[in-house]
Structure 1
């Protein structure tokens, strides 16, 4: 007849005995049932951690059943999770757009013209304009960064905008 373990799993000696008695069997059970890909060693360790967390609630004579049930459920959850992952990997996002090919071509051509027009601006105009419109900086911030007055920044942005408006048909910026 097997030797009866102590009544309290929360005692280190009792827990160590339970661990030594069931750890290999639990690992082997998980390994044979689910295979290596779901990390049976980790799940066995996690089951013992749950046993330790709930040591006051689990009687010693139910420890084996508790461990095997918890570990089995963990593995089943992992299998279920892997199925969801595989399902989502099979779904390929549709690569289409509602934009017509003509619109896309026009957009690319406009962007090319816009880049060329920006290159024609003086460096001071381009820097002030881009800091304001692309980066969203306020006139006062730009003036402080460039070491000029706010009126100079406003003039540079205004002249850049006027130039771009003349160079590009339908050029508008909010």
Structure 2
């Protein structure tokens, strides 16, 4: 029979918990800044350790716990990223989009596209970089190799022309 101490022994499991729980919690807290999340992940890791105690050697318990908590932390971070991305995306509601609204939206988008096509190449480039790529005036100036004032002037001209063109259509 094997005399190696087992993590399945309650006294050894408690010692592993006492030795590593606070260390793991602090590690996760420093990474996330969220004490509740850190404590939850540590608790989950120790539950998994208990469920898999026959597979985990005592001298590997610390590494096992770190691997479990680190993976769980990354999974939660990835999940939060997806949730945030979804929250930022515009949500369509069925009650707002009547056929009339859709038709007007389609007509407006056609007018806008035509108006954008009437802009000079420089004005169109600056307008689209700002509105679609979300670039700042400074970023556009660096990218195009012109001054920020030149970008401001192009944007102003583009907006004036767009307002005038859309109003007249």
TM-score after normalising by structure 1: 0.51
Kept in 2: contact 1:44–1:71 (CA 8 A): yes
Question: In structure 1, what is the equivalent of residue 122 of structure 2?
Answer: none
Task: Show structure 2 runs of 5+ residues with no match.
Answer: 102-169
Question: CA shift at 1:7, angstroms?
Answer: 1.7
Q: Choose from 51, 69, 72 the match for 2:70.
A: 72
Calculate the aligned-residue CA RMSD, in Å.
Answer: 1.8
**Whole-Å separation in 1 of the counterparts to 2:31 and 2:100:** 54
Look up the SS of the partner of 1:92 in the other structure: coil
TM-score after normalising by structure 2: 0.53
**Whole-Å separation in 1 of the counterparts to 2:100 and 2:23:** 64
Written as runs of structure 1 = structure 2, the 5 A alignment for 1:1-174 is: 7-36=5-34, 39-94=37-92, 97=97, 99-100=99-100
Aligned length: 96
**Whole-Å separation in 2 of the counterparts to 1:12 and 1:37:** 27
Asked which structure has the greater CA Rg, the reply is 1
Question: CA shift at 1:37, angstroms?
Answer: 6.4
Kept in 2: contact 1:9–1:58 (CA 8 A): yes
Question: CA shift at 1:13, angstroms?
Answer: 0.4
Runs of 4+ off more than 6 Å: none
